[in-house]
C-alpha cells in the first residue's frame, strides 16, 4: 500500500481557481490599501493646506527622497551593516548557547534567567549606558545584538527540547552518541524553530540599531539612517524625515521577506509549514 501525500488540486478544477484567486487578492489588496492611504494623505494635506514643516504631502516626500538619495542611501547602508552584523552575532550566540543549554541543564538553569532579564530590559535605556563604556560603533552593534539575541536563543532552545521522544529512543536503541543525536536528530528537528526566531530577530536587530544610532546621534556623532531622522527633526526638515522613515520601513520589510524566503527554501522539501504554503 503506497503512502498518501498531500492531495493537490487538479488543473482547471474550482479548487485551483480559488487558490489562484486567493494569491491574486493577497498581492493586490495590500497594494490597493496603500494606494488609498496615499491618496487620502495627499487630499488631507491639500484640503487643509497643511504646511510642509508640519505634514508634507506624498509628492514632496517622493521628491525629497529622490533629491537626497545619495545621503539617505549611504546612511541606510551604514544602518543595514550594523543590523546584519548584530543579527549574525545573535544567530551564532543564540544557537551556540541553546546547544549548551540542551547539553547541560545546570547551565540552562544558571544562565537562562539572565537572558530573560537582558530581553525585558528596554534597549532605549541600555543604549546611553553602553555609549559611555564602549566606542560608538561597538555600542550600536551591541544594542542590535541584545534585542536580536533572545528570540534566536528561546526558539532554538524550544526546538532542541521538542524532539520526538520516539525518535530519541530509536537513536538510543541504535547506540548513537550524544553528539550524533544532536547533529543528526536535534538540530534538524529544531531548524524550523531557529528560522522562526531568525525572522523575528531580523526586525528586532534593525530596531536595536536604530535606537542606538539615535542615542549616538544625540551624543554628537552618527552616520546611520536613524541619525539622519533625528537630524531632520532638529532642523525641521520634515520631508527628509518622512523620506528616511519610508526608506527604513522598506528596509525592514525587505529583511523580513528575505528571511522568510530563506526559511521557505530550507524547509520546502520536508517541513509541513512550507509544504502547506506551497500547495
Q: 49-74 as b/e, with b when 16 or more CB fall inside 10 Å?
A: eeebeebbbbebbbebbeebeeebee
Domain that holds residue 81: 56-278
**Do 21 and 145 belong to one domain?**
no
**23 belongs to a structural domain:** yes
**Do 150 and 240 belong to one domain?**
yes
pLDDT tens digits along 35-77: 999 999 999 999 999 999 889 999 999 999 999 999 999 999 9
Residue 131 makes CB contacts below 8 A (sequence gap 6+) with 139, 212, 215, 216, 219
Q: What is the pLDDT of residue 266?
A: 87
Q: What is the CATH number of the domain that holds 230?
A: 1.10.3720.10
Q: 157-185 as b/e, with b when 16 or more CB fall inside 10 Å?
A: bebbeebeeeeeeebeeeebeeeebbeeb
Calpha distance 232→71 (Å, rounded): 12
Total count of domains within the chain: 2
Q: What is the pLDDT of residue 2?
A: 42
Handedness of CA 125, 126, 129, 132 (dihedral sign): negative
pLDDT > 50? residue 1: no
pLDDT tens digits along 68-106: 999 999 999 999 999 999 999 999 999 999 999 988 889
- Residue 93: HSE in the Cβ half-sphere, 13 Å Cα cutoff: 16
**Do 38 and 64 belong to one domain?**
no
Q: What is the pLDDT of residue 166?
A: 86
Q: What is the pLDDT of residue 4?
A: 46
| Three cell numbers written together for 34 | 496603500
Look up the pTM and report it.
Answer: 0.82
Query: pLDDT-based confidence at 12, cuts 50/70/90?
Result: low
Handedness of CA 221, 225, 227, 231 (dihedral sign): positive
**Do 134 and 32 belong to one domain?**
no
pLDDT > 60? residue 206: yes
Calpha distance 48→172 (Å, rounded): 73
**30 belongs to a structural domain:** yes
**Do 129 and 39 belong to one domain?**
no
Mean pLDDT on 108-134:
88
Mean pLDDT on 147-156:
93
Amino acid at each position: 500500500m503506497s503512502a498518501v501525500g498531500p492531495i493537490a488540486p487538479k488543473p482547471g478544477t474550482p479548487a485551483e481557481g480559488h487558490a489562484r484567486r486567493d494569491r491574486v487578492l493577497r498581492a493586490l489588496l495590500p497594494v490597493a490599501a496603500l494606494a488609498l492611504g496615499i491618496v487620502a494623505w495627499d487630499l488631507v494635506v491639500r484640503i487643509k493646506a497643511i504646511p510642509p514643516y508640519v505634514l508634507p504631502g506624498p509628492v514632496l516626500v517622493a521628491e525629497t527622497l529622490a533629491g537626497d538619495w545619495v545621503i539617505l542611501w549611504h546612511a541606510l547602508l551604514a544602518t543595514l551593516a550594523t543590523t546584519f552584523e548584530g543579527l549574525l552575532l545573535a544567530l551564532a550566540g543564540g544557537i551556540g548557547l541553546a546547544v549548551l543549554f540542551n547539553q547541560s541543564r545546570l547551565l540552562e538553569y544558571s544562565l537562562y534567567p539572565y537572558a530573560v532579564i537582558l530581553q525585558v530590559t528596554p534597549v532605549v535605556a541600555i543604549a546611553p549606558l553602553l555609549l559611555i563604556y564602549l566606542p560608538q560603533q561597538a555600542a550600536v552593534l551591541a544594542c542590535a545584538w541584545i534585542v536580536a539575541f533572545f528570540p534566536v536563543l528561546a526558539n532554538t532552545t524550544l526546538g532542541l527540547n521538542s524532539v520526538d521522544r520516539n525518535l530519541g529512543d530509536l537513536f538510543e536503541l541504535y547506540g548513537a552518541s550524544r553528539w550524533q543525536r544532536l547533529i543528526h536528530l536535534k538540530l534538524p528537528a529544531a531548524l524550523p524553530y531557529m528560522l522562526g526566531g531568525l525572522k523575528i530577530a531580523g526586525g528586532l536587530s534593525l530596531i536595536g540599531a536604530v535606537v542606538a544610532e539615535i542615542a549616538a546621534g544625540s551624543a554628537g556623532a552618527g552616520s546611520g539612517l536613524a541619525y539622519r531622522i533625528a537630524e531632520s527633526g532638529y532642523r525641521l526638515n520634515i520631508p527628509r524625515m518622512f523620506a528616511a522613515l519610508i526608506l527604513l520601513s522598506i528596509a525592514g520589510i525587505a529583511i523580513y521577506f528575505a528571511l522568510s524566503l530563506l526559511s521557505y527554501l530550507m524547509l520546502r522539501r520536508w517541513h509541513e509549514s512550507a509544504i502547506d504554503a506551497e500547495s
